[in-house]
Amino acid sequence: MEGKQSNTVNALLGLLSIHPMSGYDIRQLIPGSIGHFWSESYGQIYPALKRMTAEGLIAKKTSRTKGKPVRHEYSLTEAGRTRLAAWLKVPPAAPAPVRSELLLKLFFGGQVGAEVSRAHVEDALAFEQKTLAVYEATERAIKAAHPHNPHLPFWLFTLNLGRHTSKATIEWCVETLKELDRLAGIDGQ
Amino acid sequence: MEGKQSNTVNALLGLLSIHPMSGYDIRQLIPGSIGHFWSESYGQIYPALKRMTAEGLIAKKTSRTKGKPVRHEYSLTEAGRTRLAAWLKVPPAAPAPVRSELLLKLFFGGQVGAEVSRAHVEDALAFEQKTLAVYEATERAIKAAHPHNPHLPFWLFTLNLGRHTSKATIEWCVETLKELDRLAGIDGQ
DNA sequence: GGAATCATGTAAGTAGTTACATGATTGA
DNA sequence: TCAATCATGTAACTACTTACATGATTCC
């Protein structure tokens, strides 16, 4: 019954459950795995690994190959695996309130010309199309790399949500652009 | 050419552009306006109002009605209005990386039984359905309250995005539940 | 030889929430 | 009279990012 630990620890436990890794490896792995819904910087990772080692959740193995920099590889201990499973079973906390600068500017868009909002939405459309392309590329890549991995379906679930929301956002951009044109037309006459 | 100020300041400038308000009023107004994509706590609002007053972006009017607590009402100055318009025109920064505890647990869902993930997704579905209902109720409410307000279309844009992404999320939940059932079925045999 | 990248870490700063503190007013 | 809510604010804490510091290795 310890107090709730940070989710950084839980994310690292999860990643180390795939296979043992160094802090650097973890950072490199993130973009191609949990990167589209979770981020960790070195400033979080290294101190967390230290704390987790002290708590006995992970074990550190230092290897000195001649002509190579010292490498610190961490692997889950039994305690770590237990902790991960326990955390996975707890219903996730309510999502932290989002903050969208785009929507904030759009909400107050009436204070400036409609063409300002139009430009912002067009940028968002381009951005979201790229994001969608990345999701689809990632999906193909992990399907090709781990075709028989039992975890694959779970990895795809998370990518699917990205795909769904990206498509919805793109639709909204298109609709909103039309509306903004109508607005500008009314103003212009 | 000052350094970029925090978005809290910009959000408050925007809200005060609707009409003059106290810090308390601002906090109360948020849930029914920008609350679905932006949040501010008292711990942010009061210090920000103080700084903004010092910078001349807003003006404070203190009113002492007998039998009422002192009231500090803030209104935009010309400088504030100019600053708001300038900020609105700048393309919004790339969205901060999201962090979804649900997706994190789902990604590592293979470490525990499929029924664990199923329960999480079902919770998410219920949550999202409520969220969608709130968007739709808010939409009706502001349409009824401000039918001819020129800012109304902009307010609706932001709600529309919420509606679009909520619906996409709900679809994803339903699909994922089906997939999880298939997975559990395969395991179970 | 020099740039990129592998690799590990720390320090400082920013942004934000939560809890606390205070006190008046209103309504059941 | 007691709870809710109006109203303003501060202090402590947490989380996180960025920049810095260091040094080895690999590839051109």
Q: Give the nucleotide nearest to A22 (CA→C1').
A: C7
Share of chain A above pLDDT 90, in %: 86
Decide which of A185 and A67 is more confident: A185
Assess contact for B15 and B26: CB atoms under 8 A: yes
Divide the 189 residues of chain B into consecutive groups of 10 and give the mean pLDDT of each group: 72 96 96 95 96 95 75 95 97 91 98 97 97 95 94 98 98 98 78
Statement: residue A83 has pLDDT above 80: yes
* Residue B56 backbone phi and psi in degrees, to 5: 80, 15
Assess contact for A179 and B153: CB atoms under 8 A: yes
Cα dist. A42→A51, A69, A119, B175 in Å? 14, 18, 35, 36
In 3-state terms chain B splits into helix, strand, coil percentages (rounded to 5) of 65, 5, 25
pLDDT value for A186: 75
pLDDT value for B71: 82
The structure tokens 């889950």 sit at A76
- The predicted-structure confidence for A105-164, as pLDDT tens digits, reads as follows 999 999 999 999 999 999 999 999 999 999 999 999 999 999 999 999 999 999 999 999
In 3-state terms chain A splits into helix, strand, coil percentages (rounded to 5) of 65, 5, 25
Closest CB to B105: pick one of A33, A92, A161.
A92
pLDDT value for A43: 96
pLDDT value for A2: 44
Closest chain B residue to A151 measured between Cα atoms?
B110
Select from B12, B16, B37 the residue whose CB has the most chain A CBs within 10 Å, as the one to mutate to test that interface.
B37
Mean pLDDT of A19-44: 95
Statement: residue A67 has pLDDT above 90: no
Yes or no, beta carbons of A100 and B105 under 8 Å apart: no
- Cβ of A69 near strand C (under 7 Å)? The reply is yes
pLDDT value for A113: 93
CA A55 to C1' C8 (Å) is: 20
The structure tokens 């601002």 sit at B26
pTM above 0.85, yes or no: yes
Closest CB to A165: pick one of B93, B109, B165.
B165
